[in-house]
Amino acid sequence: MNSKKSIGALALLTAGAFALTACQQGSSSGGGGGGSEDGAVTLQFQSLSDQPATQEAVSSAVEQWNSDNPDVQVEIIQAGWDGAYDKLITQFTGGTAPDIVHFDGASIVSFAQDGYLADLSGGLSEERIADVPQGIWDAVTVNEEIIAYPSTLQSYIAFANVDLLEEAGVEVPTGETMTWDELAEIAEATTTDDVYGIGWGLGSPAATVMTLAPGFGGDFFSGTGEDVQIEVGDAELEVPERIHEMAYEDESLDPVSLTQSGSDVLASFYGGTVAMTVQGSFQATNIANDAPEGFNWVALPPLEGSEGALQAVNPQTYSVNIDSEHVDEATAFLDFFASGETMAAIAQADALIPASESARAVVAEETGGEDGWDQILASADGMVGAPFLQADGYAEWKETTLNPALQQYLGDQIDSEQLAQQLTDGWG
């Protein structure tokens, strides 16, 4: 009797579940937008913005566009960063990619090389193109086509505990830039029995090393697409060698921090067990929000190598699906969306640097340079396009070769020659 009841309940449950699920039709399952009954075009815009304030800025711009353009309506599809690459590759391959795609430079280039993205150069206004430095455009140019609009970017910045520097008798650097030698000297000077001069979260060191490499002329790659050649010489090894030196020769860099994430190291920074920390610039906002009351901190000037205070740019991007039925309308929307005000609002909400000069001016004015924004914005002047962005297979090499090899080197398991060998052998 009981078993009959159970079977009946199960059957009922299944039928009910199916009835419910069958009714659940997604609103975003099309391959891009399309027309509607009233003849208006609907564009699908897949946004990865995850901060409430960023989402608000994006929504506000879209609402403005929709009210100004009744014939071309934009629908936001909210997605997340995690797994975005897998999602996009499935969408593009399956022909269901949205009209407008939000991603980042290092990852979007491979989609362009596979022919999934439209050339924006004819559709973006001269004003928009002139508003972004050429070095940043280079990062989103593939085969002489602009395949994305670069919106925001991050640099790597050193943050310092002012009290610990002063205790050590070190003057806080205030120049336009700060050399790597100065960083090492300050780290040594502030190292005591209880405090390391610097904590650097390099659990996944690839992005940091590749971003800072141009400061010493480290290119790693030459050529584009499938014809890329790798070369790991002195210039390319400079950044990891200097970090290694601080950790194992000067003993001024906390070696434990080399196994942690940037966010993990912030706890040591707030706790006063490291005097400085190098972080993504976006962490300035987190420091301002989470640091203990009275914590006296400052963002130090951008790090300068032998070639200048240069860093590889890897911007967040907005692209147009080449298979969209409305490429021109989507590009026109992007041109509107890329206004200084919208980009400034997004950048501030995400604590990132706007790619465009006009948006940077807005951020500078609105923040007054507080909470490290002065140095963060200054670091954007040294942003350059990096060859690795154009290298076919870079993303795979980064995960399978670069990260593990750097982890071994920074863990003092291999020397720099072995590091160079591994990086070279691991490429294609």
Partner 1 sequence: MNTNMKTPLPVTVLQYLALGGFLLFLGFPVLWIVSASFKSSAELNSLSANLIPNEWVFTNFTTALERQNLLTSAGNSFLVAVSTMVIAVIVTLPMSYALARLRGKLRAAGTVWILATQVFPQILIIIPLFLVLRTLMLNDTLLGLILVYVTFTLPFTLWMMQGYVAAVPRELEDAGSMDGASRFKVLVHIVFPLLRPGLMATAMFTFVSAWNEFFLALVLLQSPELFTLPITLRAFLGAEGQTQLGPLAAGAVLATIPSLIVFSFLQKKLTGGMLAGAVKG
Q: Does 121 bind partner 1 (CB under 8 A)?
A: no
- Applying CB under 8 A, which of residues 291, 322, 361, 364 lies at the interface with partner 1? 291
What are residue 74's DSSP bridge partners?
43
- Applying CB under 8 A, which of residues 37, 39, 52, 144 lies at the interface with partner 1? 52
169 contacts 336 by C-beta, under 8 angstroms: no
Collapsed DSSP state (helix, strand, coil) of residue 42: strand
Contacts with partner 1 by CB under 8 A: the residue count is: 56
Provide, rounded to whole angstroms, the least separation between the CB of residue 297 and partner 1: 13
Provide, rounded to whole angstroms, the least separation between the CB of residue 3 and partner 1: 6
Q: Which stretch binds partner 1 (CB under 8 A): 215-223, 265-273, 394-402, 411-419?
A: 265-273
Q: Binding mask 192-221 vs partner 1 (x if CB under 8 A, - otherwise)?
A: ------------------------------
Q: Does 317 bind partner 1 (CB under 8 A)?
A: no
Q: Does 1 bind partner 1 (CB under 8 A)?
A: no
What distance in Å separates the CA atoms of residue 403 and residue 419, rounded to the nearest whole number?
A: 11
Q: Does 8 bind partner 1 (CB under 8 A)?
A: no
What distance in Å separates the CA atoms of residue 90 and residue 95, rounded to the nearest whole number?
A: 8
- Applying CB under 8 A, which of residues 5, 39, 144, 289 lies at the interface with partner 1? 289
Q: Does 107 bind partner 1 (CB under 8 A)?
A: no
Q: Quick one: tokens of 21?
A: 């699920």
β-strands 274-280, 196-200 pairing? parallel
- What values do phi and psi take at 350, rounded to 5? -90, 0
Provide, rounded to whole angstroms, the least separation between the CB of residue 107 and partner 1: 11
- Applying CB under 8 A, which of residues 13, 53, 130, 256 lies at the interface with partner 1? 13
What distance in Å separates the CA atoms of residue 364 and residue 73, rounded to the nearest whole number?
A: 32
What distance in Å separates the CA atoms of residue 88 and residue 248, rounded to the nearest whole number?
A: 42
Q: Does 155 bind partner 1 (CB under 8 A)?
A: no
Q: Which stretch binds partner 1 (CB under 8 A): 121-129, 257-265, 337-345, 370-378?
A: 257-265
Q: Quick one: tokens of 133?
A: 């430095």
249 contacts 187 by C-beta, under 8 angstroms: no
What distance in Å separates the CA atoms of residue 337 and residue 61, rounded to the nearest whole number?
A: 6
- Applying CB under 8 A, which of residues 34, 51, 217, 325 lies at the interface with partner 1? 51
What distance in Å separates the CA atoms of residue 196 and residue 188, rounded to the nearest whole number?
A: 8
DSSP H or E segment with residue 81: none
Q: Does 179 bind partner 1 (CB under 8 A)?
A: no
Nearer to partner 1, 287 or 310 (CB): 287
Q: Quick one: tokens of 412?
A: 């003092």
What are residue 75's DSSP bridge partners?
44
Nearer to partner 1, 3 or 67 (CB): 3
What distance in Å separates the CA atoms of residue 247 and residue 258, rounded to the nearest whole number?
A: 9
Which residues are at the interface with partner 1 (CB under 8 A)?
3, 10, 13-14, 17-18, 20-22, 24-29, 48, 50-52, 77-83, 86-87, 89-91, 93-96, 104, 154, 261-263, 266-268, 270-271, 273, 280, 282, 286, 289-292, 316, 350, 352
